[in-house]
């Protein structure tokens, strides 16, 4: 990866991590050796490309995932809060990519598994892991998955987050059933994906799934829907579902 792009990408990932810690990212140093805080970017036309639907090399995909614009429309802090208290819990981030949400979750959970089917993203997340504060490194694990299987152990995850990924899954009902096996009873599944209409961001229509269809597929996959929200995010809908607990005998 280009060294300059790699530096700025790591800076973006670390900034997201420190934001979850309630601290500010490290200051930068200018050409004259003076330290200064990184200025807040000015946002005008927010039109980031979506890496899973765009052409280009891996460096461009990473840059897209970690775009400064994304925090405006993705609202990662609000999204993560929907999972509730994660202390003592294991969270799986399905379709983790560069770890945009994965590393924001690490300070909050007992363990976070960054799951992706692309070995390049697995390698990238592993390279970020070594830059985490030592006390958080053991909380993170990357995991190479299969297109039809997230490769979770039975009952392993207490919570699962799936952001900008659902529309790329084939045979989704079967996938959800497999995913359910890797979740503990009562575990929550949070799906965030793009609304099926004309948007300034997001993938082509072929990779968008209507909210009503997501609800039907979740029910067919054995989940109970606890919340849907089509308004909180400008370009995306939110679905919160639960793996039912076994009925008491």
pLDDT surpassing 80 at residue 200: no
The whole-number pLDDT of residue 90 equals 98
The fraction of the chain above a pLDDT of 70, given in percent, is 69
Q: Is 236 exposed, middle or buried (0-12, 13-18, 19+ CB in 10 A)?
A: buried
Whole-prediction pTM value? 0.76
Range 3-25+47-242: architecture per CATH: 3-Layer(aba) Sandwich (3.40)
Q: Could you tell me the residue ranges of all domains in the chain?
A: 3-25+47-242
Instruction: Give me the residue label for tokens 């765009």.
Output: 54
Could you report the per-residue pLDDT of 24-52, keeping only the tens digit for each? 333 333 433 433 333 333 222 222 333 34
Q: How confident is the model at residue 4 (pLDDT cuts 50, 70, 90)?
A: very low
pLDDT surpassing 80 at residue 18: no
């Amino acid at each position: 990866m280009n060294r300059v792009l790699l530096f700025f990408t790591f800076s973006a990932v670390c900034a997201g991590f420190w934001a979850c810690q309630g601290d500010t990212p490290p200051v930068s140093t200018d050409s004259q050796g003076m330290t200064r805080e990184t200025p807040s970017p000015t946002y005008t036309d927010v039109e980031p490309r979506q890496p899973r639907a765009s052409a280009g090399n891996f460096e461009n995909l990473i840059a897209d995932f970690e775009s400064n614009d994304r925090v405006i429309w993705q609202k990662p802090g609000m999204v993560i809060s929907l999972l509730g208290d994660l202390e003592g819990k294991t969270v799986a981030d399905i379709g983790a990519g560069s770890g945009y949400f994965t590393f924001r979750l690490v300070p909050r959970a007992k363990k976070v598994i960054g799951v992706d089917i692309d070995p390049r993203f697995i390698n990238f997340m592993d390279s970020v892991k070594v830059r985490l504060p030592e006390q958080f490194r053991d909380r993170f694990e990357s995991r190479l998955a299969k297109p039809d299987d997230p490769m979770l152990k039975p009952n392993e995850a207490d919570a699962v987050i799936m952001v900008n990924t659902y529309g790329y899954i084939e045979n989704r009902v079967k996938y959800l059933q497999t995913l359910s096996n890797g979740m503990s009873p009562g575990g929550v599944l949070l799906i965030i994906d793009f609304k099926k209409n004309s948007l300034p961001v997001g993938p082509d229509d072929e990779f968008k799934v209507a909210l009503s269809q997501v609800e039907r597929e979740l029910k067919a996959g054995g989940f109970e829907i606890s919340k849907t929200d089509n308004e909180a995010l400008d370009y995306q809908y939110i679905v919160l579902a639960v793996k039912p607990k076994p009925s008491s005998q």
